Chain A
Amino acid sequence: MKKLLLILTLTLILAHTKADDKPFKRSYTNHTEIGVLLGKSFGGVTAKANVSLQSFNGIRLTPKLAVGGIVGLDWYASAQVIPVGVGVRGTVFKAKKLNPFYGLDAGYGLMFASTKQENEKISGGLMLNPSVGMRVALGGGNALTWSIGWKHQSTYSSIDNFGDVAQPTWWWGQYQTETHKIFERLSVKMGITF
């Protein structure tokens, strides 16, 4: 499933990175978005909607392709993840009022904004966010965007409650847990790019 989406995204990128006629001046570009991550938890029983913010800062390599770094903030109910990584932004046309675009972000989720329980160690994991959307030019190289995509985020947690083996506790015993959470969400975002 994941592989299919990745292949599709890469195909789109490759299809549009052709060499250009006249020399193109590389410039800085920014794409900042706010949106929601929609999904279901616990085998589809509970619906979830969480806020997501992200900023892409990169270099326009060709009129249709930019690469750069991303940093974001995803506010899930049980974890507050700060993904950092790399991103790609590409458009279908060189310049048009309505220009479809695609994005592919990949990175690692930092967990320092999340709260740990007692005896708990938390760490982040892989973040993937391919998306497609529309770019509405505002003039002067600025534009509004909206997009939908898929966000994948892994987080890890471990609790060591074994304590002193020679002195077990009363009722709740001794245990050690390793938890692996994978958030799979539909991302719906709005943003600006310049």
Chain B
Amino acid sequence: MKNLIILSSFFALLGFSSCTDRCEQTVTYRYQEAYYITTADLRNSIASEAPKALQNPGKIYAKGNYLFINEIKKGIHIIDNTNPSAPQFVSFMNIPGNTDIAVRNNVLYADSYVDFLALDISDPRSLKVLNRTENAFPSGSIDGTHWQYDFQNKTITDYRWATRTSTQTVECDGGSITPVYYEAFMRADGSFSSKTGAVSSANPSNTTGVGGSMARFAIQGNYLYAVTNSEMQLFDIQKPETPAKGNKLNLGWGIETIFPYKDKLFIGTTTGMLIYDNANPAKPTQLSSLAHVLSCDPVVVDDRYAYVTLSSGVGCRNAVNQLDIVDIQNLKNPFIVKTYPMSNPKGLGIDNKTLFICEGTFGLKTFNAADVTQIDKNLLAHFKDINAYDVIPLGGTLLMIGTDGLYQYDYKDPKNMKLLSVIPVKK
């Protein structure tokens, strides 16, 4: 009996001394990991290589029989698209920091972090650097990351998405548990502005390619306009092989996309659309602006209307997901005609009143936009189960890029679009 009491007390004491709750939490989170590139290394890395598979495609560009697909911050895939049902990879141009493409004649313009390159594409199997404008861009954003150039150290600081796992002790009972540490500072992303296939040129013998709706480069007349987060840098490309750095305009912040149309420039920003008069290409002047909710918005334009998609996502907080139809008959006074709710619209394209809208993970939608007030009632097709980021309508063939790959459709009969080919992304 005595033993039992002693035993029990011992029991109790032991029990009490260890009566502390123990709680542990393991968190896996995405964050931005910095890495550095010197300008010397950057300039030494430009090279033409054997073709590779798509991994992280960005913007697309079409010129003649060729397709140029940006591999985000890595370079450009060159694809022979003579037969859209069977596109062929030709080569890969290694260009660190590349996010945009534009082509005039046989010159391909590409950015490479701080530099602006002019490449000779007369032999698509082997591109050569014709000209390099150094330090044309001081910083840039894409895919939620932002890079910056340090002039003194001649080094570029860039970030890549990485995941990290860490474990720590947390409060056990009561009180909310917030994850250990997570950071995801998102900047205004290189959201793409939509461009319809406008082949414009002052000189009829000049041919310019067509960019998708996510481009920051636009060629109009003898100028290439490159928008960064807050500025527009002009390049005089009268002599395409030797671009000359021209004026730089300060546009405010949150600039995302540029769309030239006739002698006007439509600029998409996170807070609205700006319309510039480009009568004097060396010096565009602002005509008007149309403010909207903080979103990301590519713009495409035809004669009467501007079609703007607003979406949520990287750098697009407080966002709505919708399509705005803007009447631009009077450019000094644009106004919204109608707004349509959408799922998560990104790039778009318009060709002869057929409107193509990329809805990210929600797929690709095609509408008959003959009556802009009845667009939602005129859905021609909805391709689900594909990721749609941006499109280029090329007079019958639609090029669509997304995280799954490059899809080509025949849209000569918009009510019966046919899938021609797919270049898949290597997963």
Binding site for B on A (CB under 8 A): 1, 4-5, 8, 12, 38-44, 46, 48, 50, 76-79, 92, 100, 130, 132, 148-150, 159, 162, 164, 166-186
Contact = CB atoms under 8 A, between A and B. Distances in A.
B23 interface: yes
B174 A78 contact: yes
B28 interface: yes
Contact of B174 (A5, A77, A180): A77
Contacts of B23: 41-42, 179-182
Given A168-B30, A168-B314, A176-B27, A184 B21 contact: yes
A169 B15 contact: no
B172 to A, nearest CB: 4
Interface of B: 1, 4-5, 7-8, 11-12, 14-16, 18-31, 144, 161, 169-175, 177, 179-180, 182-186, 312-317, 344, 360-361, 387, 403
B28 to A, nearest CB: 5
B172 A148 contact: no
Contacts of A150: 11, 14-15, 18-19
Given A38-B19, A177-B28, 13 more contacts: A8-B7, A148-B15, A166-B403, A167-B313, A168-B314, A172-B182, A172-B184, A175-B179, A178-B26, A179-B26, A179-B177, A181-B23, A184-B20
Nearest to B167: A178
A70 B306 CA distance: 70
A44 B171 CA distance: 10
Contact of A41 (B21, B183, B186): B21
A5 B28 CA distance: 36
A176 B4 contact: no
What 6 A-B pairs come out closest when comparing CB atoms?
A: A173-B184, A150-B15, A77-B174, A175-B29, A39-B19, A170-B317
A176 to B, nearest CB: 5
A37 B195 CA distance: 67
Given A148-B12, A164-B361, A167-B344, A173 B21 contact: no
B21 A48 contact: yes
A171 B186 contact: yes
Contacts of B20: 39-41, 43-44, 184
8 contacts: A41-B174, A42-B171, A44-B20, A46-B174, A149-B15, A173-B31, A175-B28, A185-B19
Contacts of B315: 170
A48 to B, nearest CB: 6
B18 A1 contact: yes
Contacts of A159: 179
Q: Which of B18, B170, B173, B403 has the most CB of A within 10 A?
A: B173
B11 to A, nearest CB: 6
Contacts of A169: 184, 186
A175 B163 CA distance: 9
A92 B1 contact: yes
A166 B31 contact: no
A108 B241 CA distance: 75
Given A164-B361, A170-B186, A181-B23, A41 B28 contact: no
Contacts of B170: 42, 179
Contact of B185 (A38, A100, A171, A182): A171
A49 to B, nearest CB: 10
Contacts of B8: 100, 132, 148
Q: Which of A78, A166, A171, A175 has the most CB of B within 10 A?
A: A175
